[in-house]
Amino acid sequence: MNWQPIQKPAEIAESRLLEAILSGSFPINSNLLGERDLAKQLGVTRPTLREVLQRLARDGWLEIQQGKPTRVRDYWREGSMAVLAALARSPSHQSPDFVTHLLELRVLLAPAYTQQALKVAASEIADLLEGHTSLGDTPSAFALADWDLHRLLTQRADNPVFRLLLNSFRELYILMGEQYFSFPECRASSRAFYTELLNCARNGSYCDVESLTRCVMKESLSLWQKMQKENP
């Protein structure tokens, strides 16, 4: 039986507050209601509300100052990795450029973690890519395959921050991947990349893989931007 975990009152209140912030009900730089009214609206006790507010303040969503109303921070400027992860889990509340910004980040990071990974796990990466040669030509198959590849690359890279960043975006990665790979030219581009990366892994071409990955990540960004223009 597939039991669903029961959410605690604090978890429900936090989810509702984040929804209100992201939807604009509590816009950036606005003040929240007083504790009594906010606790009543959320259906929690004031101690539970204080716990939630402290957690959201820690993550960069709120600013709490003694004797002043609680302010919604400009989380794009004052937030933390926890804000980024929450935004990744909320596709309906993202700005139109959010995925573009993430792809720009991948252009900078993927060449480094791919090269690091190939130095220590070339055979394991080659084994995974062998399976990619017979991928079904569907968006979902490519989205999952691409996630599996980048997850393995970040897991085998020396720098653990790479994998922490990627793990924050699993749901968004696959969701947006299915949109991206709905275009045949995107699937063709990635299929060619998998083949070239497989050759690098087999031949130990660690120097070549960094430039290869950077070129392909830039191409992915360009294709995504093209798709957004053609399908607003």
| Reported confidence tier of residue 137, pLDDT bands at 50, 70, 90 | very high
Q: Are 168 and 81 in contact (CB under 8 A)?
A: yes
Nearest partner of 162 among 105, 208, 100, judged by Cα: 105
Nearest partner of 72 among 53, 89, 51, 86, judged by Cα: 53
User: Rounded to whole angstroms, how far apart are CA atoms 80 and 95?
Assistant: 17
Tell me the average pLDDT across 55-63: 93
Tell me the average pLDDT across 64-73: 92
The percent of the chain in helix, strand and coil, each rounded to the nearest 5, is: 75, 0, 25
pLDDT of residue 98: 82
Tell me the average pLDDT across 24-34: 94
pLDDT of residue 216: 95
Q: Specify the residue for token string 């509340």.
A: 93
Higher pLDDT, 116 or 205: 116
Task: Tell me the average pLDDT of the chain.
Answer: 90
Q: List domains and CATH numbers for the chain.
A: 9-83 (1.10.10.10), 95-230 (1.20.120.530)
Least confident of 80-89, 107-116, 164-173, 174-183: 80-89
pLDDT of residue 110: 96
Q: Which residues contact residue 15 at a Cβ distance below 8 angstroms, ignoring those fewer than 6 apart? A: 7
Tell me the average pLDDT across 57-67: 92
Tell me the average pLDDT across 12-41: 93
pLDDT surpassing 70 at residue 157: yes
| Reported confidence tier of residue 96, pLDDT bands at 50, 70, 90 | low
pLDDT surpassing 90 at residue 8: no
DSSP of 44-66: --HHHHHHHHHHHHHHTSEE--T
pLDDT surpassing 70 at residue 80: yes
pLDDT of residue 138: 95
pLDDT tens readout for residues 160-210: 999 998 988 888 888 888 989 999 999 999 999 999 999 999 988 777 899
Q: Are 2 and 8 in contact (CB under 8 A)?
A: no
User: Rounded to whole angstroms, how far apart are CA atoms 10 and 32?
Assistant: 17
Q: Are 157 and 116 in contact (CB under 8 A)?
A: yes
pLDDT of residue 170: 85
According to DSSP, the residues that pair with 62 across neighbouring strands are 72
pLDDT of residue 4: 56
User: Rounded to whole angstroms, how far apart are CA atoms 229 and 225?
Assistant: 6
Q: Are 78 and 72 in contact (CB under 8 A)?
A: no
User: Is the full-model pTM beyond 0.85?
Assistant: no
